[in-house]
Amino acid sequence: MSAVKKSASSLAPTAGPLGRLWHAIWADWDLMQLAISVLLVVAIGFAPLVIRSPYYLGILILAVLYAYVGISWNIVAGFAGQLLIAHIIFIALGAYTTVVLYTRFDVMPWIGIPASGVVAAGLGLVIALITLRYGLKADYFALFTIALMVALKTLFLKWEFVGAAVGMGLRLNEPSWEKMIFSTKEPYLYIGLALLLAGILVQFWIYRSKLGKYFLALREDEAAAAALGVNTSLYKTLALLIGSAMGGIGGGYYMMYVTFVEPPQVFDLGLNVELVLAAPIIGGLGSLLGPVLGALINKPLAELIRGTLTAGRSGTTLIVYGAFLVISILFMPRGITGLIQDGYQRLKRRRAPERDEEVRRGNA
């Protein structure tokens, strides 16, 4: 509250550049979400100063990955409203692409990870074309992606070139930046944070541009969108391409961090829920802040449940975890971000309304 009052009085023409920046952000909920996201990234960047335990750093690294992957799914499902349930297939394909390139072709991950994005986008394109060709509606589209996951799992289990049922691992020799192999956790954290920051900025840019508004129009009402000149097939395809490319890149990074991949591990609905769906849903699907906030709560929570409550019995973990998800969907349909937004708007309304008007005009 006190911060708010102070800034309200600093709206005088003499307000410094920082004051003006704060006002621009305060007046605009999208910018607020961007600012909070970036601050969280910076805060996590300083975390190694206090968190020394590799175990806790490991949780943080995965939370960062979940946030990034959550963003990639948020763009497809939250913005464009496409029920791409088994998004994990792109992460899986990305992980396999990176490890195959690395072990079979000596391609370094700095190239392998972007290549994973391209390969995953290829699958995204195929899915989009099939969906459009057969006019799959939302629920059938969701089922189709799950069926595809099962089919890919079977394929990868049989496919010798990618290690079949044994899976594939990185040859762990000398740590080196070139090979993105490190003996400590910190470098993984910073690479993950760079990825997350890029994801946050891409998501923000999309949300504010024509592309993002067309995605939202698709989600809200396809027929109305078409009537207003939105090529619905094209924009559905674009949403899928962006989401799958980002997912594939996340998968490549995931591979470098976990160093091993096998079909039952990655083509798995349980991992899909934890790694892809949970963060945006808990945080607020379709919002800008949701995936980041959700991941920072989801990952430590999943770990806590796994570690303490159920002492490693995986079935119980899923039940407790699933119950938490269901409860958060029922009681926070707009996620944590929704709660924060309500608070933000209440605060904003308490300030002089004409001032707000001025600020908005000034920044329009």
Partner 1 sequence: MLEVQGIVKQFGGLTAVNDFSLSLDRGDIVGLIGPNGAGKTTAFNVIAGFYRPNAGRVHFGGRDITGLRPDQICKLGLARTFQVVRPFGALSVLENVMIGAYARTNDKATAKAKAEEALEALGMTDLAERAARDLPIAGRKRLEIARALATEPQLLLLDETMAGLRSAETDEVIEMVRKLSQRGIAILLVEHVMKVVMSLAQRIVVLHHGEKIAEGQPSEIVRDRQVIDAYLGEVESDAAR
For binding to partner 1 (CB under 8 A), which residues are involved?
Answer: 208-210, 213-214, 216-217, 220-221, 223-232, 286, 364
SS3 assignment, position 136: coil
CB 254 within 8 A of CB 247: no
Minimum distance between the CB of residue 232 and partner 1, rounded to whole angstroms?
Answer: 7
| Minimum distance from residue 205 beta carbon to partner 1 (Å) | 11
Min dist. Cβ of residue 223 to partner 1 (A): 6
Q: Nearest approach, Cβ of 226 to partner 1 (angstroms)?
A: 4
Contact 196, 292 (CB under 8 A): yes
Q: Which of 273, 289 has the CB closer to partner 1?
A: 289
Between 43 and 228, name the residue whose CB sits nearer to partner 1: 228
Min separation Cβ 349 and partner 1, Å:
13
d(CA 124, CA 120): 6
Phi-psi sector, 94: left (phi>0), alpha (psi -120 to 50), beta: alpha
Q: Cβ closer to partner 1: 322 or 333?
A: 333
- When the beta carbons of 1 and 227 are compared against partner 1, the nearer one is 227
| Centroid of chain to Cα 217 | 21
Any alpha helices (H) in the chain, and if so which ranges?
Answer: 2-9, 17-26, 29-46, 54-73, 88-105, 109-133, 138-158, 186-208, 210-220, 222-227, 232-258, 263-266, 269-272, 278-283, 290-304, 314-331, 335-350, 353-363
- Considering the complex, state which of residue 78 and residue 199 has its C-beta at the smaller distance from partner 1: 78
